[in-house]
Amino acid sequence: MTAAPTSLAALAALDDLLADAERLDAASPLAHVRDRFELPEGLVYLDGNSLGALPKAVPDAVADVVRRQWGSQLIASWNDEDWWGAQVRVGDQVGLLVGAAAGQTVVTDSTSVNLFKTVVGAARLRPGRRVVLIDPDSFPTDLYVTDAAARLADLDVRRVHPRDAVAAIAEVGDDLALASYSQVDYRTGEQWDLVSITEAAHAVGALACWDLCHSAGAMEVGLDEGGADLAVGCGYKYLNGGPGAPAFLYVAERHLADFDQPLSGWHGHARPFEMGGTFEPAPGITRGRVGTPPLVSLLALEAALTAFEGLTPAAVREQSLSVTALFISALDAAGVLGDDLTLATPREPERRGSQVSLRHPQAFAVVQALIARGVVGDFRESDIVRLGFAPLYVTHVDAVTAARHLVEVLDGREFERDEFTRRGAVT
Amino acid sequence: MTAAPTSLAALAALDDLLADAERLDAASPLAHVRDRFELPEGLVYLDGNSLGALPKAVPDAVADVVRRQWGSQLIASWNDEDWWGAQVRVGDQVGLLVGAAAGQTVVTDSTSVNLFKTVVGAARLRPGRRVVLIDPDSFPTDLYVTDAAARLADLDVRRVHPRDAVAAIAEVGDDLALASYSQVDYRTGEQWDLVSITEAAHAVGALACWDLCHSAGAMEVGLDEGGADLAVGCGYKYLNGGPGAPAFLYVAERHLADFDQPLSGWHGHARPFEMGGTFEPAPGITRGRVGTPPLVSLLALEAALTAFEGLTPAAVREQSLSVTALFISALDAAGVLGDDLTLATPREPERRGSQVSLRHPQAFAVVQALIARGVVGDFRESDIVRLGFAPLYVTHVDAVTAARHLVEVLDGREFERDEFTRRGAVT
């Protein structure tokens, strides 16, 4: 298949950008950090916003948990390895990445389960108020769980897009219990302003909860500084904790004493080993815990977080913006943005997270064609090619390489091939 | 320290029993199964009802999950390794051990979270009925979570001991939604009759839920045969899934279509990848899922369950009763049962699970003294020495050895030593 004439110029432009990319990578303060990850040779992995890559520290740490802590020390590891304290200990490490001072973040359960805690918990912190606002474009589990919590707690969920949230919050006024938003849209990668929505909620006496699944580990979040009340997020995307790594829950210090979450399991009890018959919440964020946590997965996350050693969220964000900007520049230089392929992600750095999403009528097949070329992104309904640039291991060269493959897929109309249009298993 | 004269006869009697134990171990159909576990040389591990020992199949399986499935295959493993189906696939394996036909058991979340689903789910299956009965001596999380669910679902929880449950069920009658009991008491090891309590619940149109934490993997449970409606249990005790291994949830086939559980996360959706805005439960037990499961821990459990290959629950139960009976015989032979040391566990085989619990005024220190001698059990408030006999790896010789150490601890009054009476960290 011969490339169209336009693409010859495009490929030349990309060659120039590749040289720039090499210089940027060499100069990057995060240049050494990619070495902290195991990545298959030659793969351009742009799906770290779905499953983060494997940090090199993890396999040995997990083997130690399994063979020594569990196999040899057995039950004694609850004390000797402080398994008992792991959820809050790892929570504090996550807190460092999302701007939360110690003692407000706990690693526990899944994001879905934690959302249930925040919705019911928020309603109890604001008794008498019945309205919860949420983005209709939220990741679906946020919608499902919020509806489920509202059904039990007799709340009224209203779906309001984040661009209209500040106005809607003011309009609902003193019936608003909670504004529950994602900082970064999982499909478009658009970033919403944590501070203005949080301030609007506070102005009417309500709380704000932030879903950080697509921001924790990829950008500055600033929970404390932004005045967030509650937050949740997952451990397996930009935190690289492994498939289904436990999620986290943040409750601002000022709410902790009154945070009354609905899943009162024994690990959230003040004195669990007294085995008393009445629940009494533990002081602090420990009350966010429920049952015995999956320690192998939890301690894998702890080891994974060492990949962030020495990095500030600001430095991570700088790298993320530099790489995503270069990718967008490459698409511009190649002239592929237009009728069929459009940016779903805002160009303005302050309005995007760490992914670049593109709309294309054959988005599914475009993603499959890219995967076949060793550029792994994912498809999201209905027309989104989603490319996540995990700043710890996706390089500038990766960005230009991915752009080049995309140009070739489009020029060669590879997305029309049967092998790529066929929808099989889930991705 | 010289042993008291009585104990010389006691020790001689134990020597005789040790010879019996060796013969019983040699003849046991499970003799080869202990080799499927890593156990520290010389340790008598009687705490498998708190944390099961490490099956030898686990370390390599976990390393494969981490290095190959996650590290090399990355996101593709959701399809290629069927991570997506793992919760139901492993659930079916657990089902084999608790008498549940395929398609009714899912491995998900913690026992506490699953209890929340069963209480609210049961109330929705029996609308208009408000009463839930539960054992006041339940493991505390069962009490806490049931209270928490009742608070949200406007239920009336009544704590009625299982010995009085059948009468209480009849008395509550058609206001009863759910009888929620543990098959085996976590402290005393007493087994309660699943069939009679379930039948009594059905007689008034109510449901029965069984907590199998202390029975799954150690005895016959017979969920389907016994007519159980719902069940939960943990993966880290007799199932040997590792610290905090995910728990399981069972919903009888006849209730699945209407089982409306309150934690409706995206993994429980009928078509999660359509990313629709309205929750629609998946067919079958898949609707018991919530968020993304901790796959490293979940797949460790899957590998651990291979230790049960070729064993029927009946064979496991036979071994369990043989070993626990020998332990009780050894205590009898040694003449140590009396004023200070008493059996908390019933002697009748059909009335006990797989543990033998003893009451002693200095139970805490007795446990510490045993641990110092390499016999690991645990203490439970207020006066229980709890010794779990995991039938897959605790031998008859272990049972007699443990009895001998206990006799020596008591004869030597080791429980009075400062080093053993001092209460430090949790155990």
pLDDT per residue as tens digits for the range A52-67? 999 999 999 999 999 9
Task: Closest CB to A294: pick one of B139, B294, B376.
Answer: B294
Asked if residue B228 has pLDDT above 60, the reply is: yes
Location of each CATH 3.90.1150.10 domain in chain B: 5-31+312-421
The pLDDT value given to residue B44: 98
Asked if residue A6 has pLDDT above 90, the reply is: no
Q: Are the CB atoms for A47 and A186 separated by under 8 Å? A: no
Q: B423 pLDDT band (50/70/90 cuts)?
A: confident
CATH number listed for the domain at residues B5-31+312-421: 3.90.1150.10
Task: Closest CB to B236: pick one of A77, A292, A297.
Answer: A292
CA angle A310, A315, A319 (to 5 degrees): 125
Asked if residue B146 has pLDDT above 60, the reply is: yes
Residues 378-397 of B with CB under 8 A from A: 378, 380-381
Q: Which residues of B114-146 are buried (b: 16+ CB within 10 A; e: fewer)?
A: bbbbbbbbbbebbeebbbbbbbebbbbbbbbbb
Count CB atoms within 10 A of the CB of residue A132: 28
Residues of A whose CB is below 8 A from B75: 47, 50-51, 376, 378, 427
Q: B424 pLDDT band (50/70/90 cuts)?
A: low
Q: Is B405 annotated as a binding residue?
A: no
Average pLDDT over residues A293-321: 98
Q: A4 pLDDT band (50/70/90 cuts)?
A: low
| B393 classed as catalytic | no
Residues of B whose CB is below 8 A from A274: 381
Given an 8 Å threshold on Cβ–Cβ distance, is B143 in contact with A112?
no
Residues 278-337 of B with CB under 8 A from A: 278-279, 290-298, 300
| B144 classed as catalytic | no
Location of each CATH 3.40.640.10 domain in chain A: 58-308
- A46 and chain B: CB distance < 8 Å anywhere? no
Task: Closest CB to B263: pick one of A59, A77, A145.
Answer: A145
| B364 classed as catalytic | no
Asked if residue B240 has pLDDT above 60, the reply is: yes
Task: Closest CB to B148: pick one of A263, A267, A427.
Answer: A263
Task: Pick the residue from chain B with its C-alpha nearest to A237.
Answer: B75
Q: A2 pLDDT band (50/70/90 cuts)?
A: very low
Q: Where does B120-244 show beta strands of DSSP type E?
A: 131-134, 156-159, 176-182, 207-211, 230-233
Average pLDDT over residues A239-244: 98
Average pLDDT over residues B185-198: 98
Residues of A whose CB is below 8 A from B275: 139-140, 380-381
Peptide bond into A357 cis (omega under 30): no
Q: B10 pLDDT band (50/70/90 cuts)?
A: confident
- Of A287-291, B296-300, B421-425, which range is least confident? B421-425
Instruction: Express the helix, strand and coil content of chain B in percent, nearest 5 each.
Output: 50, 15, 35
Average pLDDT over residues B25-52: 97
Residues paired with B211 in a beta bridge: B182, B232
The β-bridge relationship of strands B131-134 and B384-388 is unpaired
Q: What architecture (CATH level 2) is domain A58-308?
A: 3-Layer(aba) Sandwich (3.40)
Residues of A whose CB is below 8 A from B294: 243-246, 294, 296-298
The pLDDT value given to residue B6: 59
Q: B41 pLDDT band (50/70/90 cuts)?
A: very high
Asked if residue B2 has pLDDT above 70, the reply is: no
Q: Are the CB atoms for A390 and A238 separated by under 8 Å? A: yes
**Exposed, middle or buried: residue A207 (CB in 10 Å: 0-12, 13-18, 19+)?**
buried
Q: Which of A264, A375, A376, A384 to mutate to test the interface with B (most CBs of B within 10 A)?
A: A264
Task: Pick the residue from chain B with its C-alpha nearest to A58.
Answer: B66
Given an 8 Å threshold on Cβ–Cβ distance, is B295 in contact with A242?
yes
Q: Is B342 annotated as a binding residue?
A: no
Average pLDDT over residues A323-334: 97
Task: Closest CB to A426: pick one of B67, B84, B147.
Answer: B84
Asked if residue A1 has pLDDT above 50, the reply is: no
Count CB atoms within 10 A of the CB of residue B417: 15
- pLDDT tens digits for range A366-417: 999 999 999 999 999 899 999 999 999 999 999 999 999 999 999 999 999 9
Average pLDDT taken over every residue of chain B: 96
Asked if residue A427 has pLDDT above 50, the reply is: no
- Structure token pair of residue B351: 């009335």
- pLDDT tens digits for range B346-386: 999 999 999 999 999 999 999 999 999 999 999 998 999 99
Smallest CA–CA distance, residue A6 to chain B, in Å, is 34
Average pLDDT over residues B28-52: 97
Smallest CA–CA distance, residue A203 to chain B, in Å, is 29
| B236 classed as catalytic | yes
Percent of chain B with pLDDT over 90: 95
Q: Which of B110, B186, B357, B367 to mutate to test the interface with A (most CBs of A within 10 A)?
A: B110
The pLDDT value given to residue A368: 97
Q: Is A181 annotated as a binding residue?
A: no
- Structure token pair of residue B261: 């559980």
- Structure token pair of residue B216: 């799954």
- pLDDT tens digits for range A282-305: 999 999 999 999 999 999 999 999
- Structure token pair of residue B228: 């159980």
From B34, B129, B237, B404, active-site residue = B237
- pLDDT tens digits for range B251-275: 999 999 999 999 999 999 999 999 9
Given an 8 Å threshold on Cβ–Cβ distance, is A151 in contact with B297?
no
| A238 classed as catalytic | no
Asked if residue B3 has pLDDT above 80, the reply is: no
Asked if residue B54 has pLDDT above 90, the reply is: yes
Percent of chain B with pLDDT over 70: 98
